[in-house]
Amino acid sequence: MEDPIVPLELTRMFFGTDPALFYLEIVVRTCVVYTYALLLIRWVGGRGIAQMSTVEFLLVIALGSAVGDAMFYPEVPLLHAMLVITVVVLINKVLDILIYRFKSMEKALDGKTAEVISDGVINTKTLRDNKIGKSELFESLREQGYVHLGEVRQAYLESSGRFSFFRAKPARPGLPIEPAWDVSAPRMLGPGTEIDAGKLVCCDCGAIVEGVAKTPATCRQCGGTAWTIAAPAQPDNP
């Protein structure tokens, strides 16, 4: 049977019962776990932590865990938690210096900006590489007041995980995104469908096709096979 815990026992609170070499193990454990978590977050991507950089996000997690364990578990000496916090802060400070001095380190840790839309056409490779669905992109566009892709000159996925959009002036015809396709999807046209009038637009990337009587077999831009009639360009807002 374990001995009962003596409240406010300073030796146990600050030093515990571990040998002195265990403090070196804490440093090693902290470095290994921090590096592993950093690699995992870079692999998953930074889109879920849009308000913080990867390093800042890791700092919050590490400090929260170290402080929480020391507060709730009597078998965790405070000095252990203090050492973990110190090592984490020092690692964070070193990474901040490396990011400031070396551009390659900044890209490796925080990622880089990627083009999502150019002249109303989606870069489908960027979406695939970053595991982003078109519905998520369209939702962000609607939140900014866009109704079709022809209104978008450029769009970027920033290293922070947020989208930035730049309006085309004047707008051109484009793939309709409003209303949301889950509510009312545009009429999809398969390959070889005859059309009477209007410009065709690829439903996968938003590329425009003009001067055809039938829908093409595939989109030259992305290889898609679904088409619809492009939404007309709207006059610029005053």
**What percent of the chain stands above pLDDT 90?**
38
Residue 108 has pLDDT above 70, yes or no: yes
More confident residue, 98 or 64: 98
State residue 236's pLDDT score: 47
User: Residue 62's pLDDT band (boundaries 50, 70, 90)?
Assistant: confident
Distance CA 218, CA 215 (A): 8
Q: What is the DSSP letter of 156?
A: E
State residue 73's pLDDT score: 58
**Residues 15-44 pLDDT 10s:** 777 788 888 888 888 887 777 777 766 665
Neighbouring residues of 89: CB distance < 8 A, sequence distance ≥ 6: 59, 63
- Strand 152-157 relative to strand 121-122: parallel, antiparallel, unpaired? unpaired
CATH superfamily of 114-229: bsu07140 like domains (3.30.240.20)
Residue 238 has pLDDT above 50, yes or no: no
State residue 141's pLDDT score: 96
Residue 3 has pLDDT above 70, yes or no: no
Q: Would you list the domain boundaries of the chain? A: 10-110, 114-229
Other beta carbons within 10 Å of 199: 19
Residue 79 Ramachandran class (φ > 0 left, ψ -120 to 50 alpha, else beta): alpha
More confident residue, 91 or 146: 146
User: Which of 62-71, 136-145, 155-164 is the least confident region?
Assistant: 62-71
**Residues 189-235 pLDDT 10s:** 999 888 877 789 999 999 999 888 889 999 999 999 999 999 998 64
The mean pLDDT value of the chain amounts to: 83
Please, where are the H alpha helices in the chain?
10-14, 22-44, 54-72, 78-101, 103-110, 124-129, 134-143
State residue 15's pLDDT score: 75
pTM: 0.67
* Helix 22-44 vs helix 54-72: crossing angle, to nearest 10: 140
